[in-house]
Amino acid sequence: MQSRFRSDRRLTVRMTVTMFLLGLLYVAFIAALLVLLKSWLLVVVLMGAMFVAQFWFSDRIAMFAMHGRVVEREEYPELHAVVDRLCAMADMPKPTVAVSEMDMPNAFATGRNPDHAVVCVTTGLLRRLEPGELEGVLAHELSHVAHKDVAVITIASFLGVVAGLLVRFAFYSQIFGGGRRDQNTAVVFAGVMGVSAAVYAISFLLIRALSRYRELAADRAAAQLTGRPSALASALTKVTGDIARIPTKDLRTAQAFNAFYFTPATGKEPGIERFFSTHPTLQQRLDQLGRISAELGETTVPPEADRA
């Protein structure tokens, strides 16, 4: 079913190109592992099992990792009401609604398709945002579901996850078992580590580039659906500023899931590392919302002095 979220052809093209390039990388990765490990059955079974587990259970894995739990209408009636209204406006299935008992203000969406999606907000976000701001954030997350970029990021992340795990496995195997291996085995492990590291690096860059664009696409879609880009801009400013005041050590666990969050769990705006970030800068997002606000004839935008 096609939702009323405005389609984004550039996002679709980027997702297609990213998946195509990662597909080529995936084939090359499997071929390299087959040559190095000399066991097609082991490689295919291992990667197939991990892919199925990540794709089919990604929502449960994300919910567990980010301390989310499904909540019913009786427990959070206002939250459900906002999601109901937005889903009616967008003409899309209502996702499962969840809440994470975290003080960090944030939100995320996950799931393999719109019929099996979860939208989760933290209690810290619910405490800090006004109703209009919360509506903007939830519209942003619902647009990720409608555009199916949540599923694409989940699939795209798989190769990097496997490569990263193989690097760690090869590294620790060499440390703890190097003395018991012959030279040929050491060469195989070194080859696996090298190929895995290269695959991880390439997939990392491809995913980050797509992730930054999809956040801008979600901001645009949310602003156009609600007709209130200034409310979304206000939420972005408030959430980013509050996260910046949280000690970095308290954000480290959450940072592993930055690609899924409404705004990254970082203590400061990125400098040169913005090229490796999962999100565009706050200024880029606010500038885009300012342009949409002008197009829609809105006059209320967050003042420059209030921007974190």
The answer to pTM > 0.75 is yes
Q: What is the pLDDT of residue 307?
A: 42
**Residue segments in the chain with a per-residue pLDDT below the cut of 70:** 1-3, 36-37, 53-55, 58, 158-186, 188-189, 192, 249-250, 253, 256, 267-275, 299-308
Q: What is the pLDDT of residue 32?
A: 74
What are the binding residues? Answer: 140, 144, 215
Q: What is the pLDDT of residue 127?
A: 95
Look at residue 111 and give its three-state secondary structure.
Answer: strand
- Rounded (5°) CA angle 1-17-166: 105
Which residue among the candidates 75, 78, 135, 141 is catalytic per the annotation? 141
Q: What is the pLDDT of residue 162?
A: 64
Which distant-in-sequence residues (6+ apart) come within 8 Å of 14 by Cβ?
Answer: 209, 210, 213, 214
- Rounded (5°) CA angle 296-259-151: 85
- The dihedral over CA atoms of 21, 214, 221, 63, expressed in degrees to the nearest 10, equals 110
Q: Report the sign of the C-alpha dihedral through residues 8, 10, 12, 14, in that order.
A: negative
Q: For residues 230-245, b (16+ Cβ closer than 10 Å) or e, as one string? A: bbbbbbbbbbbebbee
**Phi and psi dihedrals of 97, rounded to 5?**
-105, 130
What are the binding residues for Zn(2+)? Answer: 140, 144, 215
- Known active-site residue 141: yes
